[in-house]
Structure formats: C-alpha cells, structure tokens
Amino acid sequence: MANTVWKANQRSLAPWLFLAPGLIMFIVYVIIPIFQSMWISFYDWDGLGEKTWLGLANYAELLDDDAFYTSLKNNVIWLVLYMLALPAGLLIAIFLNQSIRGMRLYKSLFFFPFVISQVVVGLMFSWFYAPDFGLFYNLIESLTGQGIAILADDRFVTYGIIVAGLWPQIAYVMILYLTGLNNVAPDQVEAARLDGAKGWKMLWYVVLPQLRPATFIAVVVTVIGALRSFDLVSVMTDGGPYGSSRVLSFYMYEQALSEYGYRMGYGAAIAVVLFAIMMIFISGFIWKMWRDERGR
Amino acid sequence: MVHYRTGALALTAVLMMSTAAMAQDKRIVTYNADFDPAPLAAMEQVIASFEEANPDIDVQLNNFDHEGYKTSIRNFLSADAPDLANWYAGNRMKPFVDAGQFADVSDVWEENGLKESLASALPSMTFDDKQWGVPYTYYQWGIYYNKDAYEAAGVELPGPEGVTWDQFVQSCEKFQAEEIDCVTTGTKALWPGAGIFDYMNLRTNGYEFHMQLTGGEVAWTDDRVKATFAEFAKVQPYITRNHAALDWQDAAALLVQGKAANYVMGNFAVAVFKEGGMTDENLGFMGFPTITEGVPRAEDAPTDTVHVTSGAKNPEDARKFLAYLATAEAQTTINNAMGQLPINKDATVGDDQFLQAGFEMLSTADGGIAQFFDRDAPAEMAKAGMEGFQEFMVKPENVDRILERLEKIRGRVY
C-alpha cells in the first residue's frame, strides 16, 4: 500500500526529500528566529527574568532616541560611500587585466586585503590612525602642524572606519570584475575597435554591458557588506567617541548583548528595523533575478 | 549559538563525569571564576589549604577570561549553574539578586561574625537587609603621578597631605607650558573617564549625594551636578587631548614617558607603570584633592566578590568555602598575590608602599566607600553616563545637552 503511494507520487516527493535537510536548517536557524526577534521586540526583557508586554513602546522609544538616529545616519553614510568600491574595484580590475610577466603575483597582492580577517584590518587601521605614533596622524601633523586623531573625533570617525572597510571591499569587487573580464567576448571588442571605439566609449558601450552579471553581484555584496558593518566598528572604536560611530547592527548588539546592555526587547526592535531596511534591498535583488530568469 | 552551547554542555558533562569518577568519595564544589594568572595561582593556593582542612571536599575551579566571563555568566547561571561564581559588589550584582540567581548567604555572615570583620564592605553586599555574597578584595583609586614630570615643569612635589584643588589646577598651567598633559586618561573603553567624574562629584557634593545620583534619586540637571561639572571644567583643558582614541594602557605609557604628569586610576595600574620602567622612586600616589571644604572624604574602591548560586548542587560545602574565603588568613594570601587590599580587617596588607597608602586612605575614609560609577549605577545609566563624561571631556560646551540627555535616560531606567 505504502509502496503504491510512493510509486504514484515519487516524482513530486523526491525533490522535497532532497530539499528537506536544507529547508529544515533554514527554517530552524533563519526563519523562526526572525519571527522570534519580532516577538521579543514587543517585550521588555533582560534575558533572565520575566518578560513584560510593552506593545509598540520599544518602537516609540526608538523614535525618540538620538543614538538610534546617529546609527541610522551612519548606516546611510556607509551605504553611499561603500558604493565607491564598485568603480575603484573595476578600475583596478581593468588595470590588472593584462598579460604581463608576474601578473598573477600582482593580482594576488591586490586580493590580499580581502583574505585577512576584518578584525586584523580594523587593528591595522586603528594603529594607522593612532595619535602620537600612527602613520596617518604623523603625516597630518607634519603637513599641518596639528595632528588629527581620526578615531577620537566625532566629525571624522565614521569616514575613517569606512575607509578601512573599503580596503578589503575593493579587493572583493576587483576579483568579481576580474573573472567577469575573462568572459568578455574578444570578438566584440575587436569589432568595436574596427568601428573606431576606444577609451570611455569602449568601456561604457562594449565592456560594461557584458559585465552586468558581475556588477549585479558586486552591488549585492557591497550593500550587504555596508549594512552588516559590525566588526570594524567594534574593533576600532566600540561605537565611540560617545557613540558617534555606531551603526544599527552595533547598536543592536550594544543594547541586547554587551556588558551594559541586556535590553533584549529594545535590541530586537533595532534588529527588526535593520531587517526592514535590508528587506528593501533583498526584495529588489530577488525581484530582479526572478525577472531575468523569466526573460530568458 | 545554540550549537555551541549544547556542544560545550556535552563537553563539560563528559569532563565532569571523568573527574567525578576519579574523586568519588569527595563532595564536589564547582566554582566559575575570571582570574588573571597571578590571582589564579593565589586562589588555587587558598583552595588547596581549604581542601587540606576539609579533606572530604573537592573544589573544582573553572577559569574564564574577564570579558568572556561577563557575557557567559548569564548563560551558565540559568543553564548549568556552578556552586560558586565570581562577581562584583554593589548595583552590579543587583540584577542577579533580583532574578533570584544568587543565594542569600546572610547565615554565613551571621555565623562567622563577618559583619564585624568585613564591616567596610557590608553596605555594598546588602540588599533587602540580606547579604548575597562574600567580598575578598578591593583596591583604591587615586592620583598616580610622575615625579620626573613634576620636576621638568618646575612644579613642587605634593606633600604627604596631597595638594589643594587650587594648587592642582594652577600646577596644570605650568605643565601645559612645558607641553606635559596635566591629567591623562584613555577613555576608549569609557570607564577610565568615570573615575575622574566620581572623584569630581564625591569631592564637590559628597558620598550621600553621589549615591543618590547613581541611585537615580536626583536629577542630572540638578544645580549640584552642574557645580560638579563646573569644577570638572577647570581641569578639562589640561586632559590629554586625544583620550577618546586611547586605551587606559596607552595613557599609562604617556605617564611613564613623562608626557603626562597625573593619572586618575585604580591601583592595578601600578604594575603597568612599573613594567614601563617606573620605580617606587619616581612614581607617586596621592588622594584626590578636596574641592568643597567640609565634605567628608569618600573614596572609590571597587570590590570583587564570590557568590553561592541559587542553582548550586552543593550549597552547604559552597557556604563552607565562602566562610573560609572570608578569613584573615585566606584574604592575606590572595591579596598579597593580587597586589590588592584585603577586606578582612585582621588580614595583613602587603608592604608595597602603594598598598600601604591605599589601606591608610581607605581605612580613614569617613565619607564612605563608593564602588565605582559603573557598579553603583545600573548598567544602562552607567553606559550613557560614561559616554556623557567622555563627550564632556572633548566638548565641555555641550554640558547642558549632555545633562538633559542623561536626565531623559534616568527617567526611563529607574
């Protein structure tokens, strides 16, 4: 009996059976926690004692929280400036896309910052910026007579961290474009050249359109990289000075899990806001992929 | 996270089973702690002599690193409580007392006369008229100074009585002329700045007011708080300019190199100064100067404690260990190794000059002993307050905005 049911539905059941392990993991570790976070965001909870129902009070508090707006503003700055990784990565990729002796070595050197851990990148840049002995600090001091401690100055600190973040991010985008450039059809380039295209026109009308898949992936990883910027902030400044370099992900951690935090509900509310922002981008990407797949 | 936890639990379970098999005839007391290497060795010594006196008990110490400990204590207290756990006195232990995770050990205090011998720490261990743990060490805060820097700037060295507040502020101008930072600190981790604020407020308004402020009973926009910041503003221009980018050790280096003259710090910094090459000859210590005449002198002295957990499997023997840890003998051993001060009044203080000075200073503090800003104030208030102090030390002109922000947070926290 069971055998016949299996035989009759084998074709429709088999894919689900193969998907099951992945689906179960995804549901348990991704989907359910998303809803749990939303649920917790309606409570006041210190992670130990009783939960108290607050309704939307956590969100109301967010609207009146300067630190939240600072984080949000910094997140926007991160998003905008992180996009610089695209042109910079493309430029380096085009520059490196030549056949010269030893080119592999140069490529791997340029790729190097992406290989090392973000924590190490953060440490290197904090020493670079450090007052009294930092290279950058001394450089500014010898030029202007007055050193600037980037990480102690609320005007510059976020930009200082973004520069540190861009370094590996550019390397990442570069490698994406390098593989993309391998697939640019040489006959089209040749044909364009015969028609007299060169320089910017060649890049804009012939090469870039062929790099569209690489650009798409590069945009996706850069947006997500900017929104989840946490490690660099944590390593370089801990959100300081006086909270001026916080981003949403760091503020969430601070409120929910850090030494002085343990406001799980409030942290969860920040997480939900961050998730909503990410959702805008993610649904945009998914929509585009879906459209492309149908188009073909 | 979940994975990691179950993995770690399984591992500890296996480890415990294997050690249990070895010591079947002994009753086990498990103890989670966060000691540095030297204090760890001393605690093991204390445990060894305790086990010698109680051959049927086996204390198993499980050591964590500091930062890891602070985040994992919440997990292990609710998931798999040890019998004993390290923590801190004052408001810092209140969440665990309120959540019922530390056990009431008033009986240990009663039976062993600890209210007598550990009297100085009694207020900071008491909630609801009950005691919730046993303190074993504390250390003083104060001003550490570089005598060479004083000489370089032509400033007279402070006498045994310290200096007056006016003298201190005036000396800062002389240091500035020599491009020496009068007061140094590194507020990257926020807390060192709170030490300066604590003393400003303790000296301007006294212990009672400081406790009311950290306890949320007084507004941050109160005129007395503003008076504290007015005094603070007098030395603000002479504080190391880039302190927000420095760790406390970086600022210690400035003091060692003579680029800074004074450092408001805890006694644990002496080890760092000496590693940097300073000696008893050129490193000086003094209490923070009096600001308002007639305010009884109070000091900051953070106290470290051990607690019996509510989930303890062997609370009787854990209590026995606490009683032993409170004795003069045990406190002498561990504090000599840590280079800190024992709480037990009959214990012997190490003959290091800074310890002696601290002991003298704390035992004559008639105003009271504060625990430190981030232990006296609840966590959220402490964090916001310390950020405010840091901002003030960079941009003193923002003081009103900072105080209004703190007041808003006070309204929510308490």
Q: DSSP for B373-403?
A: HHHHS-HHHHHHHHHHHHHHHH-GGGHHHHH
**pLDDT digit string, tens, across residues A136-186:** 999 999 998 888 888 888 899 999 999 999 999 999 999 999 999 988 888
ipTM, two decimals: 0.79
| Secondary structure (DSSP) of chain A | -HHHHHHHHHHHHHHHHHHHHHHHHHIIIIIHHHHHHHHHTTEE--SSS--EE-TTHHHHHHHT-HHHHHHHHHHHHHHHHHTTHHHHHHHHHHHH-S--TTHHHHHHHHHHHHHS-HHHHHHHHHHHH-TTT-HHHHHHHHHHSS---GGG-TTTHHHHHHHHHHHHHHHHHHHHHHHHHHTS-HHHHHHHHHTT--HHHIIIIIIHHHTHHHHHHHHHHHHHHHHT--HHHHHHTTT-STTTT--HHHHHHHHHTSTT---HHHHHHHHHHHHHHHHHHHHHHHHHHHHHHHH-
- Looking at per-residue pLDDT, the higher value among A201 and B288 belongs to B288
| DSSP code for B352 | -
Average pLDDT score, chain A: 89
pLDDT score for B21: 46
Interface test with A, best of B72, B96, B242 (most A CBs within 10 A): B242
The 10s digit of each residue's pLDDT in A90-126 is 999 999 888 888 888 888 888 889 889 999 999 999 9
In tens, the pLDDT along A210-251 reads: 998 899 999 999 998 998 889 999 999 888 798 899 999 999
Residue B337: the pLDDT is 83
Q: Do the chains contact at B242 and A152, CB–CB below 8 Å?
A: yes
pLDDT string in tens for chain B (414-residue length): 334 444 444 445 544 544 444 545 789 999 999 988 878 888 999 999 999 999 999 999 999 988 788 878 888 998 889 999 999 988 888 888 988 999 999 999 999 999 888 888 888 888 889 999 999 999 999 999 999 999 999 999 998 888 999 999 999 999 999 999 999 999 988 999 999 999 999 999 999 899 999 989 999 999 999 999 999 999 999 999 889 988 899 999 999 999 999 999 999 899 889 999 999 999 999 999 999 999 999 999 999 999 999 999 999 999 999 999 999 999 998 898 888 899 888 888 888 899 999 988 988 888 888 999 988 898 889 999 999 999 999 999 999 999 999 999 998 888
pLDDT at position B167 is 93
How far is Cα B319 from Cα B383, in angstroms, rounded to an integer? 34
Domains defined along chain A, listed by start: 66-295 (1.10.3720.10)
- With H, G, I as helix, E, B as strand and everything else as coil, classify residue B287: coil
Q: With an 8 Å Cβ cutoff, are B379 and A259 in contact?
A: yes
pLDDT value for A1: 58
- Please state, in angstroms and rounded to a whole number, the distance separating the CA atoms of residues B410 and B384: 10
Contacts A–B by Cβ distance under 8 A: 76
From chain A, the residues in CB contact with B85 under 8 A are none
Which residues in chain A are contacts of B383 at CB distance < 8 A?
254, 260-261
What percent of chain A lies above the pLDDT cut of 90?
Answer: 52
Check CB contact under 8 Å for A259 and B190: no
pLDDT value for B4: 45
Is A48–B241 a contact, with Cβ atoms under 8 angstroms apart?
no
pLDDT for res A123: 93
Query: For chain A, how big is the Rg over CA atoms in Å?
Result: 24
Are A49 and B380 an interchain contact pair (Cβ–Cβ within 8 Å)? Answer: no
Which pLDDT value is given to residue B2? 39
Which domains, and CATH codes, for chain B?
A: 2-138+303-359 (3.40.190.10), 141-300+378-413 (3.40.190.10)
B243: chain A residues, CB-CB within 8 Å: 152
